Chains A and B, each alone.
Chain A
């Protein structure tokens, strides 16, 4: 972390629009078991102030945290999954979709927005693990692709926040092809010399890691996030032995050369601003 200078301590985001947090809601930290007021957690970007455990955040919470003054425009909220394979396992895919939409209030597992971060106009896409494990089907692939295309069209940087179990099985090869579609579009951003920041959060695995998530100019991750291609259970079964502690965690990936930096969420916004400032020169604010 030494190459990111922390300019200000504490949280920079204006949280006025988040005062809908009910008082008296207590949450037990899954890591250190401390009982925390939800309000306290929200003020610390859902990071446990005692042990630093990063609780999962939704796309909306990331947008609120990162965009200047919490102001941004959301795009492509009118995209919905189809069921192109008429897929049924123990439950029909169509029913899974309806249920996930009802439970999460989301259309699918990714959302995209534009706004400014540190005065830099930027295209951002973020995934939601709560929607069928953050799996990537046609809608997620299209939303990421459109976020890339907006960055290309406006000639602005791109940030993608990943949180996914991988490609969505229920759309078969069409899900697989979203890996190629998103990666192919990144070549156009690259050709314009525009920065792409990829943030991998817990967990980022499978086809998402093996496509746009690993292709950042800057590959960042949150502390202790699980990041990998194959899932730990599959690897354990393949090699027939237990996995070493810390395997496939962000720190492991940084040690092996696949991450530029591990960033505490409480300094994520300033880290992103710092990188954009360095690459683009400070924007006029």
Chain B
């Protein structure tokens, strides 16, 4: 779906797309004129395309991955819901102030049997971005207001009531920093979700599918398994805001992306996530079907493991998981201890 949309090309994709276009032209020429045989040239060009593709995507910088995570054609929450579930019923509203289109949620049948799992009812909840000017504005670019978090919490409690697992999909540039959001308690809404998700007595599988910015992402991100797509990013702040605060300029976003260690391969080393879900080469937007299948398999596997646990086992393991997060050192007797992922590098 992306190959034809040159206007969405990322800078580092351009040489590849140019080469692909030459290949297409040559194939067209070859097909049109039966007299000439270009198969040798085509084969060599195909080889060069593959080499270039591999060299670009094997060596992506962190900032390039951030760009892929934000690609306007990247699959969003509703695309995953459409591909991985049947009979999705979207459930609206927080029953207090309104309905926030920046977070969607509802019940659906997860088609686990396609992915070596079981078909089962799940509560699926995720940040939702828009695809065009109007829908982007409507969905506030995937930046929730407190109503979004409170709707998510309402649906999670419903899932617990009916004994259904929860699957959350994270894709937000952050909670909306607006005046009304503050008036209606953005901080309280996020805090409440962290607290309630920590004690929700049903399995929670979290998938970071695009952007995972700050408390706005974590507000639906506490769970038993944290999965993350290969080109997604997840951190305490966006590279732009980090640049603006620490460098006092918006120009250091690439440096900030590097410093924040915000990619899936960084985060698995620090035990912030449990599993990297591979993307098709070039990113999920180049081959969404493959991305859907990979996410489907990873979610099915996680659910298979989690549904066997009793609620107390589930909650003890969930608490222990977050207890281990962090890196610090304990001095005194010279011993260093603490979380499982403590690294001493002073």
Contact = CB atoms under 8 A, between A and B. Distances in A.
A172 B261 contact: yes
Contacts of A86: 345
Interface in B299-346: 318-319, 322-323, 325-332, 338-339, 342-346
A176 interface: yes
A48 interface: no
A257 B345 CA distance: 45
B181 A230 contact: yes
B205 interface: no
Contacts of A215: 191-192, 195
Contact of A178 (B242, B259, B325, B329): B325
Nearest to A90: B247
B214 interface: yes
Contacts of B184: 256
A151 interface: no
A42 B332 CA distance: 33
A209 B259 contact: no
A210 B215 contact: yes
Contacts of A230: 175, 177-178, 181-182, 186
Nearest to A212: B191
Interface stretch (A117-125, A185-193, A264-272): A185-193
A180 B246 contact: no
Given A173-B267, A173-B272, A187-B199, A82 B329 contact: yes
B222 A138 contact: no
A207 B214 contact: yes
Interface residues of B, number: 65
Nearest to B233: A173
Interface stretch (A10-18, A19-27, A233-241, A273-281): A233-241
A181 B182 contact: no
B16 interface: no
A183 B328 contact: no
Nearest to A87: B259
A179 B218 contact: yes
B346 A94 contact: yes
A176 B215 contact: yes
Given A209-B191, A257-B185, A258-B185, A172 B262 contact: yes
Interface stretch (A28-36, A55-63, A64-72, A73-81): A73-81
A207 B218 CA distance: 10
B61 to A, nearest CB: 16
Given A181-B326, A229-B186, A169 B194 contact: no
A21 B288 CA distance: 67
B207 interface: no
A89 B259 contact: yes
Contacts of B1: none
A35 to B, nearest CB: 34
A256 B183 CA distance: 6
Instruction: Name which of B175, B182, B190 has the most chain A CB atoms within 10 A of its CB.
Output: B182
A239 B195 contact: no
Contacts of A172: 235-236, 260-262, 266, 270
A235 B178 contact: yes
A190 B315 CA distance: 14
Instruction: Name which of A137, A207, A239, A243 has the most chain B CB atoms within 10 A of its CB.
Output: A207
Given A180-B322, A228-B182, A235-B182, A82 B328 contact: yes
A180 to B, nearest CB: 5
A175 interface: yes
A195 interface: no
A186 to B, nearest CB: 6
B158 interface: no
A206 interface: yes
Nearest to A244: B179
B134 interface: no
B327 A174 contact: yes
A229 B199 contact: no
A152 to B, nearest CB: 11
Given A84-B270, A174-B327, A239-B178, A169 B260 contact: yes
B124 interface: no
A206 B138 CA distance: 25
Nearest to B326: A138
Contacts of B345: 82-84, 86
A215 B192 CA distance: 7
Contacts of A126: none
A266 B138 CA distance: 48
Contacts of A178: 325-326
A40 to B, nearest CB: 35
Nearest to A85: B261
A100 to B, nearest CB: 15
A274 B261 CA distance: 47
B152 to A, nearest CB: 14
A79 B330 contact: yes
B52 interface: no
State the 10 A-B residue pairs at the shortest beta-carbon distance, nearest first.
Answer: A138-B326, A230-B177, A184-B198, A183-B194, A84-B327, A209-B187, A89-B246, A229-B187, A214-B191, A177-B325
12 contacts: A79-B338, A80-B330, A84-B345, A177-B322, A180-B221, A183-B194, A187-B195, A207-B236, A211-B190, A214-B185, A229-B175, A256-B185
Given A79-B338, A89-B247, A210-B187, 11 more contacts: A79-B328, A82-B328, A172-B266, A173-B235, A181-B322, A183-B191, A206-B215, A209-B191, A210-B194, A229-B186, A258-B185
Interface of B: 175-179, 181-188, 190-192, 194-195, 198-199, 214-215, 218-219, 221-222, 234-237, 241-242, 245-247, 252, 255-256, 259-262, 266-267, 270, 272, 318-319, 322-323, 325-332, 338-339, 342-346
